[in-house]
Amino acid sequence: MKIHKAGYKSIFVTFFVLFALVVVVHLTLEYFEYTRYALYAWGILMLFFAIRFFRYPNRAIEENPNAVYAPADGKIVIIEEVSDNKYLHENRIQLSIFMSVMNVHVNFYPISGEVVLQDYYQGDKMVAWHPKSSELNEHASVVIEDAQKRKVLVKQIAGALARRIVCKAKKGDIVKQGDELGIIKFGSRVDVLLPTNARINVKMGEKVRAKKTVLAYFE
């Protein structure tokens, strides 16, 4: 299992804190054997979850210029037409993927093309499934334009527990479908804004996998 490099620091800090707690427990709870063992087990579990959170999936992708792949693992929580007045200045179909702490949190490009816009907004920390979190929470927005001039907007949104968005995109980058876009630490959501004539291939509540699930097809 690969670990995303953005997780090295968090995993090290978690290990150091847990190690310090183990030392304290060992010295202060010498005569409470079962309590010590329970706390040791809890520490191992926390370290396991920290490592698991930053796992990097080794997945192949079947490139398709007419397909829009899921950029993240999670569950579809929104499918609706919205008016994007900030970046694309037109109506779009918004698909939102909610990622729990159990999901892979690495994000990937849903299409190939050129990054024509990259923007970061430092906002609030509402729960990621809140309807207003797309606008008011901390987020990074990326617009990719493919060879046919079709544009897809991907928005990485921090949730109540998320503490950092890592977005690798830079304006002018030429990217391939399935390349890494970035990662969001500790609970989050990803919005995908598609042309209104795109053929949606998922439904509400459906679980999706990055680089495997096709969200929609271009007409």
Q: Which residues are catalytic?
A: 188
Sign of CA dihedral 135, 56, 203, 206: negative
User: What is the Cα–Cα distance from 14 to 153, expressed in whole angstroms?
Assistant: 34
Q: Which residues partner with 134 through β-bridges?
A: none
Q: Which residues partner with 66 through β-bridges?
A: none
Element housing 183 (H / E):
strand 180-185
User: What is the Cα–Cα distance from 200 to 159, expressed in whole angstroms?
Assistant: 25
Distance of CA 94 to the CA centre of its chain: 16
Contact 168, 184 (CB under 8 A): no
User: What is the Cα–Cα distance from 7 to 50, expressed in whole angstroms?
Assistant: 8
Would you call 39 helix, strand, or coil by DSSP? helix
Instruction: State the amino acid at position 52 in one-letter form.
Output: R
Instruction: State the amino acid at position 115 in one-letter form.
Output: V
Q: At what angle do helices 8-28 and 33-53 cross, to 10 degrees?
A: 180
